[in-house]
Amino acid sequence: MCRPYPSQKTPDQGCLPQGHSAIFACTDPETLSGLSWLTCYLTTGKHLAFYGAFGTVLLLLAITAPAAMAFGFGGAMAARSRILPVSWLGRGYIAVVRGVPDIAFFLFFVIALDQGIEYLRHKIKCPDWTEPLRQGSDFIVCQAAKMPLGNSPQWVHESYGFSLAVLTFAIVFGAFAANVLYGAMRAVPRAQLETAEAYGMSPRQTFWRVLVPQMWVYALPGLGNLWMVLIKATPLLFLLGVEDIVYWARELGGAKTPRFTDYPHPDWRMWYFLALLVFYLCFTRVSEIVLDRVMRKLTRGQATSGGEAQRKALT
């Protein structure tokens, strides 16, 4: 592949080095200095991948937040269930995830989910396989059950890794969300439910028509908190083997010698991580402001102490 210089009329005069932005004339970095060097340095292909990784983080948040809510809702419903084993399952899910360091869960689930999926595929695709799956220190499944298949392209491997990460996040944060929602469901005044029963609603109708619409006011502070926690947990993607911002910051910041790159520089990892720190600070600050606004909107006119304080402030 060869891209011509933007200013050239004829393409045969040479081409841009691979991975450079065409906007800047970054052909010969050794002649550059000061700001133009920095501009060129910050637009190399690897840096563009680094900026793309911020998109990965946002994508993870966008997918994980609803997924965790779904897990949380399921967990809270299970914990409230009148069937005892289901209720134990829900409570156990909430209790276990809360009691153990989260990072241990992240490391555990990624391997466990991977092996679980491969085990299921193995059972379905190779039913006549007789050897044991665990041989010493190896976990062996038949070729057809490998996930993803050995001959699949790179992007399949990457998106498989990413979806495992999303599922792991959803399971762990689902437990936190379940705890918040469970508490919110119990905070809805008992009289409301009794009234619904008095009108002859079935438990299912009571749950969906009376309990669920009313619980959100009680759940919102906890869920907002959870969102902040979720933002701050995104760097853990690095531990799950996804090429995220932490990965790129380490890669790009490390000392580079002129032999391997056009842009030699000493160890700059400190500055890269400072940039990440600032990114997260801005992100949490903006979320905080938005959540505050949402909360103020929602408490308006509610019969809670927050709503009462708003009413008093107005008069």
Partner 1 sequence: MSCWETVQAYGLRSLGIGERLLPRNDFTLCDQFTLIGSGMIWNVYFGFFALISGFVFATALGFAKAQPSPWVRKPAEWFIFIFRGSPLFIQFFFGYFLFLSLKSVHPFFDAFTSAWLGALVVLFFNTSAYSAEIFYGALQSIPKGDTEAADAYGMSGWPRFKRIIWPTMLRLAWPAYTNEAIFLFHATTLVFFTGFPALQQRGDALYYASYFADKTFNPFVPYPILAMYFILLTLVIIGVFGAINRRLNRHLPQDQIRKIRLRPNLIR
Nearest Cα to 242, choosing from 55, 102, 52, 56?
A: 56
Q: State which of residues 43, 273, 291, 307 lies at the interface with partner 1 (CB under 8 A).
A: 273
Q: Are 307 and 300 in contact (CB under 8 A)?
A: yes
156 vs 281, which CB is nearer to partner 1?
Answer: 281
Q: Are 210 and 196 in contact (CB under 8 A)?
A: yes
22 vs 274, which CB is nearer to partner 1?
Answer: 274
Q: State which of residues 165, 246, 252, 299 lies at the interface with partner 1 (CB under 8 A).
A: 246
Residues 164-203 that bind partner 1 (CB under 8 A): 175-176, 179-180
- The least CB distance from residue 75 to partner 1, in Å, is 12
Question: Counting contacts by CB under 8 A, is residue 100 touching partner 1?
Answer: yes
Q: State which of residues 54, 102, 148, 207 lies at the interface with partner 1 (CB under 8 A).
A: 102
Question: Counting contacts by CB under 8 A, is residue 111 touching partner 1?
Answer: yes
Helix (H) or strand (E) holding 186: helix 154-187
Reduced to 3 states (helix: H, G, I; strand: E, B; else coil), residue 150 is coil
Q: Per CB under 8 A, which region of 1-9, 55-63, 188-196, 264-272 contacts partner 1?
A: 264-272
Nearest Cα to 176, choosing from 122, 235, 96, 245?
A: 96
- The least CB distance from residue 146 to partner 1, in Å, is 14
Pairing of strands 134-135, 138-139: antiparallel
Let me know if 176 is exposed, middle or buried by CB neighbors in 10 A (0-12, 13-18, 19+). Answer: buried
For the four alpha carbons of 266, 267, 271 and 272, in that order, the dihedral sign comes to positive
Residues 134-153 that bind partner 1 (CB under 8 A): 134, 136-139
List residues near partner 1 by CB under 8 A.
Answer: 96, 98-104, 107-108, 111-112, 115, 134, 136-139, 175-176, 179-180, 222, 225-226, 229, 231-236, 238-239, 246, 249-250, 253, 267, 269-270, 273-274, 276-277, 280-281, 284-285
